[in-house]
Chains A and B, each alone.
Chain A
Amino acid sequence: EPEVTQTPSHQVTQMGQEVILRCVPISNHLYFYWYRQILGQKVEFLVSFYNNEISEKSEIFDDQFSVERPDGSNFTLKIRSTKLEDSAMYFCASTRGNTEAFFGQGTRLTVV
């Protein structure tokens, strides 16, 4: 069964460092999303991506964040200068469009 794959499963980084979270969506999917969940808090939408550009982003997704699909398979989320408050579980999702979204298992980002 096709699945969305995220790597790494856990990333520890020092404050101020850049991190790249990677996602391999399902191959024939067209829409891609990043969400995050800070421990004990609600799920938060970050960004959606379609046709090689951002289609929607939240107020959380400021200039420190960027997304790209560098090679047609990976979908990456980059945080340029991490803050302590960026520590969270980050989930990637993909859909063909209007069908069920499939989510990865998440990357736990810990900023120290």
Chain B
Amino acid sequence: GQNIDQPTEMTATEGAIVQINCTYQTSGFNGLFWYQQHAGEAPTFLSYNVLDGLEEKGRFSSFLSRSKGYSYLLLKELQMKDSASYLCAVRDMTGGSYIPTFGRGTSLIVHP
């Protein structure tokens, strides 16, 4: 099984930078994902990390350290529309199956 921890809620100001952390424990790591989910909508894919390091995609970046069981999602130049829940998910190999396990999500509130 897995244990994924991320903060429940964060607040930030429009135009600022925010970092959402995710820590995990797994025995058969096979990739880490970040998803964004607006209230009442389906999750949308943001990033995928399987090797250590930083992946940058526009205003969003995701970092992974496998040895530390740690990832973060960095959001720059925050906009009001970035107010959403951010889900960290780890895929691992368990009993022959590749299972993605999701954290409970971090609710980000961006205020003017």
Partners in one complex: no
Enumerate chain B interface residues (CB-CB to A < 8 A): none
Enumerate chain A interface residues (CB-CB to B < 8 A): none
